[in-house]
Structure 1
Amino acid sequence: MTAPHWMNGGVQAVWHGGDPVPGPLDGRDDAGYADLRDYASIGDGRTIALIARDGCIDWLPLPNLDSAPPFAALLDAENGGRIALAPVEPATIERRYVPGTNVLETTYTTASGRARVTDSLNTGLAGRLPWCELGRRIDGLEGSVLLRAHVVPGTCLNTASPWVYDSVHGKVLRLDGLTMAVRTLAEESVEVTTSSIAVDYRTSPGSRHLLGLTSTDSEPLYLPTPQDIDDGVDRTIANWRTWSDAFGWDGPWQEEVQRSALMLKQLIFAPTGALAAAATTSLPESLTKDKNWDYRYSWVRDTAFSLTALFRFGVREETHGAISWMLRILREQGSQPQVLQRLDGAQHQDELHTYDVPGWRGVGPVRSGNQAETQLQLGIYGDIFSIVQLYVDNGNVLDEGTGRLLTTVADLACDQWRSPDSGMWELPEERHYTTSKLGCWQALEHAAHMADIGQIPGSVDRWRHEADAIGEWVEQHCWNEELGAYEWYPGSGTLDASILLHAISGFDRGERMSRTLDVLEKHLSDGPYLYRFTGAAEEELTFTACSFWRVSALALVGRVDEARDLMEELVGSLNDVGLLSEMIDARTGAFGGNLPQALSHLALINAAITVHSEEEGRQQDPLDDGDG
């Protein structure tokens, strides 16, 4: 059998639909790494697979999103492992998600014919399956196409060795605690080595073939029939469409908003309701600095923003599950809330671990764990209260224990707002960051409101007094008249794009915020994109969420036409299937950082909501309760 296509470059990727011109980060390189912009994602509520344009699944942690990945060519092209499936001969590629779903369709056109591959992480009749089930359906459309599949488990980032075992029901793959089986339908040939399985399929008009993979961890392996897996693809499409049918949004940028909501749904860890910040670890934010982090954790900040969006769309189960999970974790933590949590909610901290693998395109290090877990970030107080107030204002009621918990959190904000912290960007230097103070202001404003309506007990007069004190402190110490903007921290003379969040929170939607927007554009922008803070341009790409926050802020200070024009530019940043990464190269449109990134998709959704609401002439900001 000849080398699989991902080794000999058989598939020729073609750029479609206004994608940016390929730049230095684009294309699969000689070492086997794909451009990050080439990936689409599929998920089942426990894990997520990333599929490149050439048909390679280069990332699939099992059994859970934060587990060690048996398929990790994304970070180690040589030994990481992948599941390849594509024509042997050169092909052009068109792909899309099945409308209203997270099931991917890729159509290959070769000199000899056309075939379609439908990729699904299957779900069950009542939600997620108790095992992982990947279905890669192959339909012949025209002529005859020879496709080759190659299932090559990797080394779990050089921590284990895969092996093919004989079982009573055929060959199985084992790796660490995982047991995996390849299931095939209407294959032409199969070749098994000591650690991989290769399969050939030849299509004809109307033919149906299947490559399936089923997996369990430290438990017996269930072996569905190939037909069961194929039927599961149809069931999964139906399940996703049922979810999408309950999604309500008839405003502008409908396709981009719905796709972003579906991406967020992929990132919700179904066993607990936690929202993962991204599906990956260690994709670089910088090609020159050590900025590779594990984002397979749940940040309170992301949960706050996601509930803001999902409430607007009538999504009920996920919003209740996420807020209940967050409040349970806060109760277990006791006196000091943490900014991020493990997806399973476990309280023990993950040790920061570095793996001996090269990283994407050789840009290491590759890590698991996240050092921000132990940082003090005062903005978390605003995030907590914005979630809970939104929940209450949507007609729900807090229990007595949650009310007492929130009283404690509000009192902490009163006590701690004068302290330096690591800020939203989780930097090693603790300072008096402007937006950290405003997070405490936001928390106390919301706490006072909820006390007024009888949802929580507490010292309302104290909370209002401290909120006023924070506002006065920021106005006196954080406004830099020479700069013409709110500065990053007092006396810095520098800028921080996260100030945009406090047009959204309602702290300032007047002249000062409008002037700050102009200064941010002058000093932190590159075209429609924004860097996070002063100096970031020297070491990292633009931060996707900041660019969409600028849309919201422009609309909220009354510059709605500018906001719409900017939004129209930014939605062109999505890749061909609507995915966004953490960062974007403003020169080429290439992606950087972890992906798909929840914060980026959340910022897009909330920008669309804000522009639509301001254009409709509403008097109340759709992203908060209007009490700012």
Structure 2
Amino acid sequence: MRVNGYTDLRSYGAIGDGRTVALIALDGSIDWFPVPNLGGTPVFARLLDEADGGSIELTPTQPFTATRRYIEGTNVLETTFTTDSGVAVLTDALVTGFAGRLPWAELARRVDGVSGTVRFRWRVAPGTCLSTASPWIQKTTHGPVIRVDSTTIAVRGIDHGPRGGGDRALAGRFTTAPTSRHLLAVVGTANEPLHIPVPELTDSGIERTVSNWQFWSREFTYDGPWPDAVQRSALALKLLIYSPTGSIAAAATTSLPESSRGGKNWDYRFAWVRDAAYTLHALIRFGLREETHAAVAWLLKTIRANGPDLHVFYTLDGQLPEGVTKHDSPGWRNAGPVVTGNPASGQLQLGVFGDLFDVLRLYVQAGNVLDSETGRMLAGIADRTCDAWRSPDSGLWELEDIRHYTSSKMSCWQALDCAVQLAELGQIPGDPARWRAERGLIAEWVRENCWSDERHSYVAYPGTDELDASVLLHTVSGFDRGERMSQTIDAIRSELGRGPLVYRYSGAEAEEGTFVACAFWLASALVCVGRHDESIALMDELIGLSNDVGLYSEMIDASDLSFLGNIPQGLSHLALINAAITIEELMRSM
């Protein structure tokens, strides 16, 4: 159900082609679709601006109920509409080619009649690119096209019944019958000529896309617990891998609020070093060699190109992010602001040192070899870590308060622990004696300054009694799997937990929803300290909190389980996958 034109965030399924992602509501409306690149200004953004954002609607004209599923092993979405007069199935795909991703964005929306008759209406109405451009229809010798700023869009179909739509949109109607087939094809490019689709080829392209996804899924290897949820999360992550470069977007959207009151709205269409580390853990475990190497190669090339400093995140094409732009759009359910860009780009976050080294340790442990230039670069970064760990930073949560965050120090310990191992394996040059010594100093400093006997917990930073759920990451890293971490888990569950869900840090409940990834980190931490039954029970609860097609947003409102924040959120799905892997590996070794 829509409220003032906006639907609940749980309503959205996602499809993609390795270059962009479209979000489809349960009523058949595509409310988010940057064309042709995920990181660009979205041409279809009703998600953030009901009146002028733009959408691709395809829905029955009479009252209906809808159920949906992904075709097994794919990111192709099927929605079944049932009305009093009949049943029809809508299949949505961003079509791929014979050799992989097409050089343009090609959306296929196919409606098959099942029984009776169902009247449908459709409308392709581009928006104003977050109030920066105005769309118009241009007549050409090959039929009408829509132009919005630098983007050109064509709409073609099979028995789709075009009937106009005005000077800024294209629209039509059709009626299904048993075994009937209708197709809507929407293609787009930016700053280049447009290929006009042949609808029959787009139709056959759906089957090819299904086959391509299923071929990829067959390469996916996982035989542990919660296999369906793990595979769906892997497919969700695959949507976020930007195939032109191999980078990994943190999420598919921008500006979806972390609180129903708005205010904490960020753009996550960038590649975080942190997310790359967690993603590579999953890709390596699943035996997906091509994506693993592409992501590692992209990350190393990008770091070298933008060095010598190691940055928190980069654009999907490997550049340093520019500033934040605030747009004159209302935001989802008027919970603005709407922004492009992310203010965390200039922060010092010590956690990236641990993330980078963990990526490359996993890569080497999987049977790969580092090149000489990478080895020298890592040795230099390890030396910088030996000095940098003593500095305050913004922490994992990218906060404005600069402090000596506990989890940041633990991440520096993780970086040096990995560096020592890589040196002992002959993968990075130099004598690791200093790295080994500083690793010990960090561990001692954390034990003396970041533990509270009163709270029976590691605290967020020295001198406070506040808690920080990101400390849980360092059970898996190996910093602490003993009694102190077990007590920290209890403290975090007591103060930050709400049922199976977890807030990020003390005081977060007044600002935002629970953070999905933190709950899965808790499940990982429980099994790492030997509390296996609790870990499994928590995972069972969390698996049930996805939406109807297995997707997670960034946050969940603990009061009503509604989604908050950007969607699909890579970190949420990564935390699910890595929790399942950790539980499976540790249980198997018992």
Normalised by the length of structure 1, the TM-score is: 0.93
Alignment of 1:535-546 (within 5 A): 535-546=507-518
- Distance in 2, matches of 1:492 and 1:273, equals 41
2:250 is matched with which residue: 277, 296, 314? 277
Q: Look up the equivalent residue of 1:278 and give its one-letter code.
A: A
Shift of 1:242: 0.6
Q: Look up the equivalent residue of 2:57 and give its one-letter code.
A: A
Which deviates the most, 95-104 or 189-198? 189-198
- Secondary structure of the 1:139 match is strand
Shift of 1:458: 2.3
Query: Corresponding residue for 2:2?
Result: 28
- Distance in 2, matches of 1:533 and 1:588, equals 20
2:297 is matched with which residue: 300, 303, 324? 324
- Given that 1:188 and 1:202 are in contact with CA atoms closer than 8 Å, whether structure 2 keeps it comes out as no
- Given that 1:95 and 1:577 are in contact with CA atoms closer than 8 Å, whether structure 2 keeps it comes out as yes
2:561 is matched with which residue: 585, 589, 603? 589
Query: Corresponding residue for 2:236?
Result: 263
Aligned pair count reads: 590
Query: Corresponding residue for 1:384?
Result: 356
Query: Corresponding residue for 2:156?
Result: 183
1:455 is matched with which residue: 416, 427, 434? 427
Query: Corresponding residue for 2:446?
Result: 474
- Secondary structure of the 1:581 match is coil
Query: Corresponding residue for 2:63?
Result: 90
- Secondary structure of the 1:190 match is coil
2:524 is matched with which residue: 537, 552, 560? 552
1:432 is matched with which residue: 387, 404, 407? 404
- Distance in 2, matches of 1:608 and 1:589, equals 22
Q: Look up the equivalent residue of 2:238 and give its one-letter code.
A: K
- Given that 2:306 and 2:319 are in contact with CA atoms closer than 8 Å, whether structure 1 keeps it comes out as no
Q: What per-residue deviation string (whole Å, max 9, x for no partner) do you get for residues 271-319 of structure 1? A: 0000000000000012336210000000000000000011111111111
Q: Look up the equivalent residue of 2:575 and give its one-letter code.
A: A
- Given that 1:117 and 1:139 are in contact with CA atoms closer than 8 Å, whether structure 2 keeps it comes out as yes
- Distance in 1, matches of 2:94 and 2:498, equals 38
- Distance in 1, matches of 2:343 and 2:87, equals 48
**Structure 1: runs of 5+ lacking an equivalent:** 1-26, 619-628
Query: Corresponding residue for 2:32?
Result: 59
- Distance in 1, matches of 2:584 and 2:307, equals 40
- Distance in 2, matches of 1:62 and 1:187, equals 22
Q: Equivalent pairs: percent with the same residue? A: 56
Matched, 1:294 2:267: yes
Alignment of 1:512-527 (within 5 A): 512-527=484-499
1:354 is matched with which residue: 326, 336, 341? 326
- Distance in 2, matches of 1:255 and 1:302, equals 22
Query: Corresponding residue for 1:166?
Result: 139
- Distance in 2, matches of 1:371 and 1:407, equals 29
Query: Corresponding residue for 2:278?
Result: 305
- Distance in 1, matches of 2:308 and 2:447, equals 30
Query: Corresponding residue for 2:220?
Result: 247
Alignment of 1:477-496 (within 5 A): 477-496=449-468
2:198 is matched with which residue: 225, 242, 248? 225
Shift of 1:228: 0.8
Shift of 1:189: 4.4
- Distance in 2, matches of 1:261 and 1:34, equals 26
Q: Look up the equivalent residue of 2:117 and give its one-letter code.
A: S
Query: Corresponding residue for 1:564?
Result: 536
- Distance in 2, matches of 1:212 and 1:487, equals 54
Query: Corresponding residue for 1:412?
Result: 384
- Distance in 2, matches of 1:218 and 1:341, equals 23
- Given that 2:123 and 2:165 are in contact with CA atoms closer than 8 Å, whether structure 1 keeps it comes out as no
- Given that 2:277 and 2:356 are in contact with CA atoms closer than 8 Å, whether structure 1 keeps it comes out as yes
Q: Look up the equivalent residue of 2:202 and give its one-letter code.
A: I
- Secondary structure of the 1:426 match is coil
- Secondary structure of the 2:6 match is coil
Sort the Cα spacing of 1:269 and 1:189 in 2 relative to 1 into closer, same or farther, 3 A.
closer
Alignment of 1:6-21 (within 5 A): none
Query: Corresponding residue for 2:51?
Result: 78
Q: Look up the equivalent residue of 2:494 and give its one-letter code.
A: K
Q: Look up the equivalent residue of 2:479 and give its one-letter code.
A: F
Q: What per-residue deviation string (whole Å, max 9, x for no partner) do you get for residues 183-203 of structure 1? A: 110124422310011111211
- Distance in 1, matches of 2:56 and 2:446, equals 53
- Given that 2:262 and 2:335 are in contact with CA atoms closer than 8 Å, whether structure 1 keeps it comes out as no
- Distance in 2, matches of 1:266 and 1:595, equals 11
Q: Look up the equivalent residue of 1:91 and give its one-letter code.
A: F
Q: Look up the equivalent residue of 1:414 and give its one-letter code.
A: C
2:311 is matched with which residue: 330, 338, 344? 338
Query: Corresponding residue for 1:446?
Result: 418
Shift of 1:400: 0.4
Q: Look up the equivalent residue of 1:61 and give its one-letter code.
A: P
RMSD: 0.8
Shift of 1:587: 1.7
Shift of 1:169: 0.7
2:371 is matched with which residue: 382, 386, 399? 399
- Distance in 1, matches of 2:575 and 2:334, equals 30
- Given that 1:48 and 1:266 are in contact with CA atoms closer than 8 Å, whether structure 2 keeps it comes out as yes
Q: What per-residue deviation string (whole Å, max 9, x for no partner) do you get for residues 482-540 of structure 1? A: 01000000011110000000001011001000000000011001111000000001111
- Given that 1:297 and 1:340 are in contact with CA atoms closer than 8 Å, whether structure 2 keeps it comes out as yes
- Secondary structure of the 2:395 match is coil
- Distance in 1, matches of 2:559 and 2:434, equals 50
Matched, 1:141 2:114: yes
- Secondary structure of the 1:74 match is coil
- Distance in 2, matches of 1:90 and 1:212, equals 25
- Distance in 2, matches of 1:394 and 1:614, equals 18
Matched, 1:209 2:187: no
- Distance in 2, matches of 1:97 and 1:334, equals 42
Structure 1 stretches of 4+ with a deviation exceeding 3 A read none
- Secondary structure of the 1:135 match is strand
Shift of 1:459: 3.2
Shift of 1:251: 1.2
- Distance in 1, matches of 2:81 and 2:581, equals 37
- Given that 1:289 and 1:539 are in contact with CA atoms closer than 8 Å, whether structure 2 keeps it comes out as no
- Distance in 1, matches of 2:325 and 2:98, equals 38
Q: What per-residue deviation string (whole Å, max 9, x for no partner) do you get for residues 379-405 of structure 1? A: 100000000010001110011000001
1:577 is matched with which residue: 546, 549, 562? 549
**Structure 2: runs of 5+ lacking an equivalent:** none
Matched, 1:611 2:583: yes
Alignment of 1:34-45 (within 5 A): 34-45=7-18
Q: Look up the equivalent residue of 2:137 and give its one-letter code.
A: V
- Distance in 2, matches of 1:545 and 1:102, equals 22
- Given that 2:68 and 2:549 are in contact with CA atoms closer than 8 Å, whether structure 1 keeps it comes out as yes
- Given that 1:149 and 1:199 are in contact with CA atoms closer than 8 Å, whether structure 2 keeps it comes out as yes
Q: Look up the equivalent residue of 1:130 and give its one-letter code.
A: P
Query: Corresponding residue for 1:113?
Result: 86
